[in-house]
Amino acid sequence: MAVLKVKTLSELRALHREPVDSETYATAVEIVEHVRKGGRNALLQEAERLGDITSGQRIAYDRAALELAVQELGDRERGVLERTAQRIRKFAQGQRGCLRDFEIEIPGGDAGHIFAPVDSAGCYAPGGRFSLPSTVLMTTVTARVAGVERIMVASPKPTPVTLAAAGIAGADSLVAVGGAQIIGAMAFGVEGVPACDVIVGPGNRWVTAAKRYVSGFVGIDMLAGPSELVVWGDNSADSQVIAADLIAQAEHDTDALPILVTTSKDLVEQVNTALSSQLSSLPDGATAEDAMDNGFAVLVDSVEQAAEACNRLAPEHLEVHVEDLEDATSRLKHYGALFLGRGAAEVFGDYGIGPNHVLPTGGSARFSAGLSILTFLRMSTWMSSPDQLDDDVIRDTAALARLEGLEGHARAAEVRLGKR
Residue 354 has what pLDDT? 86
| CA atoms within 13 Å, Cβ hemisphere of 257 | 18
Cα dihedral angle (59, 200, 203, 87), rounded to 10 degrees? -90
In a domain, 305, yes or no: yes
What per-residue string of b and e applies to 111-130 under the rule 16 or more CB within 10 Å gives b?
eebebebbebbbbbbbbeee
Domain stops at, among 220, 254, 271: 220
Kindly state whether residues 235 and 351 are assigned to the same domain.
yes
| CA atoms within 13 Å, Cβ hemisphere of 75 | 0
Where helices occur in 170-324 by DSSP H, the ranges are 179-188, 205-214, 239-250, 265-280, 286-292, 303-313
143 SS3 class: helix
**Long-range Cβ pairs for the range 184-188 (8 Å, 24+):** 184/31, 184/32, 184/33, 184/34, 184/35, 184/36, 184/43, 184/210, 184/214, 185/35, 185/43, 186/122, 186/152, 186/154, 186/218, 187/32, 187/36, 187/214, 187/217, 187/218, 188/35, 188/36, 188/214, 188/217
415 phi, psi to nearest 5 deg: -65, -15
The count of structural domains within the chain is: 3
Kindly state whether residues 241 and 281 are assigned to the same domain.
yes
Domain stops at, among 190, 220, 250: 220
The structure's pTM equals: 0.93
In a domain, 374, yes or no: no
302 SS3 class: coil
Residue 173 has what pLDDT? 98
Q: Measuring CA to CA, how many Å separate 97 from each of 101, 115, 116, 145, 185? A: 11, 11, 13, 10, 33
Q: What is the DSSP letter of 131?
A: B
Kindly state whether residues 247 and 185 are assigned to the same domain.
no
Domain stops at, among 168, 195, 220: 220
Residue 216 has what pLDDT? 87
The CATH number linked to 74 is 3.40.50.1980
In a domain, 381, yes or no: no
Kindly state whether residues 68 and 189 are assigned to the same domain.
yes
Kindly state whether residues 203 and 158 are assigned to the same domain.
yes
395 SS3 class: helix
**Enclosing domain of residue 394:** 387-414
Residue 420 has what pLDDT? 67
Alpha carbon distance 33, 46 (integer Å): 11
Residues near 69 by Cβ (< 8 Å), separated by ≥ 6?
A: 61, 160, 163, 164, 166, 167
What per-residue string of b and e applies to 329-348 under the rule 16 or more CB within 10 Å gives b?
eeebebbbbbbbebeebbee
Axis crossing angle, helix 407-414 with helix 391-403, rounded to the nearest 10: 170
In a domain, 50, yes or no: yes
386 SS3 class: coil
Kindly state whether residues 301 and 172 are assigned to the same domain.
no
Catalytic residue IDs = 316-317
In a domain, 132, yes or no: yes
In a domain, 110, yes or no: no
Kindly state whether residues 9 and 148 are assigned to the same domain.
no
Residue 2 has what pLDDT? 65
Kindly state whether residues 185 and 74 are assigned to the same domain.
yes
| CA atoms within 13 Å, Cβ hemisphere of 18 | 7
Kindly state whether residues 261 and 194 are assigned to the same domain.
no
Count the Cβ atoms, other than its own, within 10 Å of residue 179. 27
pLDDT along the chain (420 residues), means of 10: 84 81 96 98 95 88 98 96 97 96 96 98 86 93 98 96 98 97 98 97 94 96 92 96 95 91 96 94 88 93 97 96 96 97 92 88 92 97 95 96 98 88
Kindly state whether residues 269 and 315 are assigned to the same domain.
yes
In a domain, 289, yes or no: yes
Kindly state whether residues 195 and 263 are assigned to the same domain.
no
Kindly state whether residues 135 and 203 are assigned to the same domain.
yes
In a domain, 370, yes or no: no
